[in-house]
Structure 1
């Protein structure tokens, strides 16, 4: 057994590098400021009750200026303002012309519907109609849907409906058909070119704030920027002398009643953070084996299609392929992936299984092991702390005792340190917030967000290929 402490991966911004997204944007601006075709303004459509739209307009106005952090330190950084002169180098454009007010009487009528599934479906349709108009007639870049307070408990059950739990274990079996407002609305709006951002009224209410205003502004603005601009505010720092890499996450999702065929899903990210989502073929589940997997042909077809998209987007084939999966690789599945890579001319590949653990390690002092702690167990197994104490913060920023991920190396062309460094770096590629220490690499972390929305699509529906539409 061998211990190593990996350095915190650096991120690249418009004019420099830093390990922290907040400091990087504040000091060096967003990554894409040097792009010639970059937009500096974007149209922000809004759907909600009149008073909620007014609250959002007030909040957007606040976000345009400097917001001081309540406890200013490296962990709590003041927000520089969303405008053309500070880090984002962009501005929101919003007005009544691109806002759609919901009728309170109509929403109350929806809430009188006794059947919960019908009630949620009617609520989705009411928002959908307004989103359709803003996207198709007004051509806005992004649509913010404000969930009114009266929907609490009747349409949205609890605040966890709007956060994806960082859990890659299987969910409990149930035959009850899932009906989730957020997921259903996002799925129905996938046909539009304008991504949607869903927020709940309590986020805009000062009396019920759950974070300080600077933190809310950071997370809100980064998510809006990524979706509206269709670009990335930062990317991973990488040795330019190395061949380009393609990172692929393979996962599965179940139907809403959790009884029908599972479907394979591929999340592709290049080293710049640009992502593509592909839906694979339905997968048969072995009645004697609960773990979903692909057969040879399914694995071959999914990865070959993935590499075709990569080549089309970048006009080159990857010099190296990195394949992540949370369930084990079966022999026929593995052979199918390898055959597709070789057929495409990719000879260097790392095939990695990433799993949760219940392991807890301790060190001297009050704090848990450092993020980046890498414990090599043997030639194929590594424990990697993607959450833990951080020297940059001089503390542990989490609430619970962290557990390492188990990295099972199935096939590799790279060293253990390279594989672990990349996983650690990919945990920072979530553009829905400014968090420095995500638990899962983006290849794995986005899979549940995508899958929980994909399950609301029919087989004939054409899903969007950009991650921005699912987060």
Structure 2
């Protein structure tokens, strides 16, 4: 653990509290939605326990924290804060044999180093990213990238999370989310996986995403986690790409799409020991002819004959149903033979409510090429929205193939050209 002494004491208090049963919030309006936490121990639930002591603590100096917070230059202030944590992460990774490092951000850094959560960046690197300073400097993204070289995943904790207040989640929900993330990062073991039909070929899912460089001058390719039903997979960084002159969307050449997918599948085989029997490709914009040709050529050379090529994108369409609640999660509407509207967020029968704050926006699923039924393709998209092990939210809007691409791109832009990105999602979430 890295942080001010009082913050580390509070964090240990929470970890100790997580070991025992925590009842669901009795004041919650949605009774069936929020569940009691069984306790993080070896007897039930995760069937594991936390191991930690003062030998693995790195206490930050209050004087150093105050001086950084007072720095007037915005970029220097953030980079100094990153360096402060990086030095202590390096020590723990080099000297101690730890599995995950928890970094508690001091309260005085709120608003100066870390800002209130904003909506996530657009999935694609488009003109929407052009607002803001000429050179992006983000504390979380920079620290994740710098810490990657030490080969130990980190967990960033905001100080206010260590208190029971209106700003943070109820204790049981907090326990579910934090313990799930720590379990995955520390053990590199997934807490749940997709439902698998043993009679079907083994499936591999690939998400292609794009991100702008920090200076917004170039667009890099970000290949999201390529993984199977068990969550095993790899992450690979691509090369700079160009924008289409007409629609301003990133555009891979034949050579880029070919080498990107072939390299990824080769690494996937090395990591899992086999090639997939079927491959599903997800992207959030249209497939140009040369892009698709490159992907198909790579699959053909590697002997993959069964594949589905799919676009998962935003839509302005909205559907309404009688009553107070929006359409049910999982609702599927067919527009044409290969165009569908899928609600990945919506009302849930099991909880008798809609667990969101705003009117849910469905996704449009465009099937470019397929061997599977449209219903299978859409069912897999829905299942993949549950595959984010950073929390226990069962209805993320995007499948992990797209959501992971976004998270990977946010952090990869802080890696140097010669720095090798980690292949596990644990280093990006």
TM-score, normalised to structure 1, is 0.87
Q: Aligned to 1:308, which of 261, 266, 279?
A: 266
Deviation for aligned residue 1:74: 3.1
Deviation for aligned residue 1:261: 3.8
Dislocated runs of 4+, deviation >4 Å: 286-289
- Tell me which residue corresponds to 1:53: 8
Q: Aligned to 1:123, which of 71, 81, 87?
A: 81
Structure 2: which 5+ residue stretches go unaligned? none
- Tell me which residue corresponds to 2:114: 156
- Tell me which residue corresponds to 2:346: 388
SS at match of 1:145: strand
- Tell me which residue corresponds to 1:14: none
C-alpha separation in 2, matches of 1:62 and 1:440: 32
Deviates more, 1:186-195 or 1:104-113: 104-113
Q: Aligned to 1:147, which of 102, 105, 116?
A: 105
Q: Aligned to 1:90, which of 41, 48, 54?
A: 48
Q: Is the 8 A contact 1:383 1:406 kept in 2?
A: yes
Residue 158 to residue 63, structure 1, CA distance change in 2 (3 Å) = same
Deviations 1:154-202, CA, capped at 9 Å, x for gaps: 2112244xxx638536434136211111110000001112100001100
- Tell me which residue corresponds to 1:218: 176
Q: Aligned to 1:66, which of 5, 9, 21?
A: 21
Q: Aligned to 1:358, which of 316, 334, 338?
A: 316
Q: Is the 8 A contact 2:234 2:271 kept in 1?
A: no
Deviation for aligned residue 1:147: 0.3
Deviation for aligned residue 1:439: 0.8
Q: Aligned to 1:206, which of 152, 164, 187?
A: 164
- Tell me which residue corresponds to 2:358: 400
Q: Is it true that 1:419 corresponds to 2:374 in the alignment?
A: no
C-alpha separation in 2, matches of 1:111 and 1:316: 50
Deviations 1:300-355, CA, capped at 9 Å, x for gaps: 00011111122112222111010000011100000000010111000011000111
TM-score, normalised to structure 2, is 0.96
SS at match of 1:377: strand
Deviation for aligned residue 1:125: 0.4
SS at match of 2:287: coil
- Tell me which residue corresponds to 1:232: 190
C-alpha separation in 1, matches of 2:401 and 2:240: 20
SS at match of 1:392: helix
C-alpha separation in 2, matches of 1:234 and 1:261: 34
Deviations 1:3-27, CA, capped at 9 Å, x for gaps: xxxxxxxxxxxxxxxxxxxxxxxxx
Q: Aligned to 1:173, which of 116, 130, 140?
A: 130
Deviations 1:121-166, CA, capped at 9 Å, x for gaps: 1110000000011111102100000000011112112244xxx638
Q: Aligned to 1:267, which of 225, 230, 250?
A: 225
Q: Is the 8 A contact 1:202 1:208 kept in 2?
A: no
C-alpha separation in 1, matches of 2:166 and 2:35: 21
C-alpha separation in 2, matches of 1:439 and 1:352: 16
Question: RMSD of the alignment, in Å?
Answer: 1.5
Alignment of 1:363-374 (within 5 A): 363-374=321-332
SS at match of 1:324: strand
